Amino acid sequence: MGLKVLKFGGSSLADAAHFRIVADIVRAEKERRFVVPSAPGKRFKEDEKVTDLLYACQALAAEGKDIDDIFGRICRRYNDIIEELGLDLSLEDEFSVIREKILGGAGKDYAASRGEYLNGLILSAYLGFDFIDAQKVVFFKEDGTLDSERTYVVLGAALENHPHAVVPGFYGAMPDGSIRTFSRGGSDITGAIVARAAGADIYENWTDVSGFMMADPRIIENPKSIDVITYKELRELSYMGATVLHEDAIFPVRAAGIPINIKNTNDPSAKGTLIVPTANDSETDSIITGIAGKVGFSIISIEKDMMNAELGFGRRVLEVLEVNKISFEHLPSSIDTMCVIVKTDELEGKREKILDAIFRLTDPDAVVIHDGIALLAVVGRGMVHSMGTAARVFTSLAKASVNIRMIDQGSSELNIIVGVEESDYVPALRAIYNEFVQ
């Protein structure tokens, strides 16, 4: 019989009403055995996230200031939930331990982790599930990366001993036992780790949207949602700015071939987006899966006659970037020009040095840096089998009077990346979306 691991984000556990919905979702299927909660998030737009309040408390304490006002607000959030759910549970002892520790100089990670710890205690009491403290089952190495070997052995064994359990997200323990958190949004990662350790059939990631959209809803009104996306496609889209899931949450489940289903707590019957290791192409009727983009890039363009015949030219250019600790994003080139696309902020304070070094090492005819570039990625596994996709992308841009500065088609044929002036970013995205989707 299949087993499901569910992670609920902060907005899905922000108040008692949401706890009730979450309990209904969990109880609707007996395969839903392990639950990973975030800390209470915002109940309304101007509201405060408990994690932010905990960071603020720790910062005040570190400056020797009073924390009682903020700490009181945190306690109230939890007490409201407990009272409204009518639970026979008191967290007062936990609150005073946490308060003392923060005042006694506990670090940021400890303070922030208490958000999911306390929410986990409430959720386990409400669901009647066992509570497994992540500090005892999720381990980091000295360098701050996940100690997967130890985690999967210990967590796997712990899960075997519990038919149903709540494991708080976001944190684990360092080799000396002290608390460490993942980066912000890291409960997604805990959910993926629990899914992997449990050998789950599926990792359900419950949030406040019905999955991934084909394009940024701030630019495209009511974009279509994506039903099925492969891990590879998702990586391309997330790299270019599409976010719903923490990027590092993909690796644990991807390695084990476990699909992730992004679901909406406020609309549980919506299918959401299914992220899968590989997808049957016949399952998709659209050529493209999504379009994402980002601004803030620069093109370093180097010209030299007969460059194509000069051995080691590219290596020397890239060496200059390496020495200056700049990673490059794309490398389109032609016979006599080579372009390197980098993030503009990485050039900060290094422009002159880079230009000088390129001149010195490659003796070019010209080198210029052009800022203000936006990149758009048109991503889709369906592109492999359909001819003329690139032509449609370029024609749609031409019709919208967008000048293309750069083109890069990945050899996987999974994406086409175009660079345009930042001022053309929005019209370009709309033009491509309308060409393929509307």
Smallest separation, CB 257 to ligand ASP (Å): 24
Please state, in angstroms and rounded to a whole number, the distance separating the CA atoms of residues 280 and 62: 54
Smallest separation, CB 165 to ligand ASP (Å): 18
Specify which residues 345 forms β-bridges with. Answer: none
Binding mask 277-316 for ligand ASP (x = CB under 6 A): ----------------------------------------
Count the alpha carbons within 13 Å of 266 in the hemisphere toward its beta carbon.
13
Tokens 């379009």 locate to 291
Cβ proximity to ligand ASP, 189 vs 300, nearer residue:
189
Largest Cα–Cα distance in the chain? 79
Cβ proximity to ligand ASP, 243 vs 395, nearer residue:
243
Smallest separation, CB 188 to ligand ASP (Å): 6
Q: Which of residues 309-348 bind ligand ASP (CB under 6 A)?
A: none
Q: Pick from 11, 33, 36, 51 the residue near ligand ASP by CB under 6 A.
A: 51
Please state, in angstroms and rounded to a whole number, the distance separating the CA atoms of residues 18 and 239: 31
Give ∠ CA 19-58-110 in degrees, rounded to 5: 65
Binding mask 7-26 for ligand ASP (x = CB under 6 A): ---x----------------
Smallest separation, CB 55 to ligand ASP (Å): 9
Smallest separation, CB 184 to ligand ASP (Å): 4
Cβ proximity to ligand ASP, 8 vs 139, nearer residue:
8
CB atoms within 10 A of CB 10: 24
CA-nearest of 158, 166, 146, 118 to 22 is 166
Q: Which of residues 214-273 bind ligand ASP (CB under 6 A)?
A: none
DSSP state of 220: S
| Secondary structure class of 417 (helix, strand, coil) | strand
Please state, in angstroms and rounded to a whole number, the distance separating the CA atoms of residues 340 and 298: 8
Smallest separation, CB 243 to ligand ASP (Å): 12
Q: Which of residues 168-197 bind ligand ASP (CB under 6 A)?
A: 169-170, 184-188
Smallest separation, CB 127 to ligand ASP (Å): 19
Q: How many residues at the interface with ligand ASP, by CB under 6 A?
A: 13
CA-nearest of 2, 74, 28 to 206 is 28
Smallest separation, CB 113 to ligand ASP (Å): 9
Binding mask 142-171 for ligand ASP (x = CB under 6 A): ---------------------------xx-
Cβ proximity to ligand ASP, 39 vs 74, nearer residue:
39
CB atoms within 10 A of CB 348: 8
Cβ proximity to ligand ASP, 38 vs 284, nearer residue:
38
Smallest separation, CB 79 to ligand ASP (Å): 19
CA-nearest of 24, 114, 127, 27 to 78 is 114
Instruction: Establish if 37 lies at the interface with ligand ASP (CB under 6 A).
Output: no
Please state, in angstroms and rounded to a whole number, the distance separating the CA atoms of residues 379 and 228: 13
Cβ proximity to ligand ASP, 261 vs 298, nearer residue:
261
Cβ proximity to ligand ASP, 169 vs 380, nearer residue:
169
Chain Cα centroid distance, residue 109: 20
Where is 389: in which H helix or E strand?
Answer: helix 389-399
Q: Say if residue 31 is exposed, middle or buried (CB neighbours under 10 Å; 0-12, 13-18, 19+).
A: middle
Cβ proximity to ligand ASP, 40 vs 419, nearer residue:
40
Cβ proximity to ligand ASP, 188 vs 216, nearer residue:
188
CB atoms within 10 A of CB 156: 15
Smallest separation, CB 115 to ligand ASP (Å): 5
| Secondary structure class of 262 (helix, strand, coil) | strand
Q: Which of residues 72-131 bind ligand ASP (CB under 6 A)?
A: 115
Chain Cα centroid distance, residue 44: 22
Interacting residue ranges for ligand ASP, rule: CB under 6 A: 10, 38-39, 49, 51, 115, 169-170, 184-188
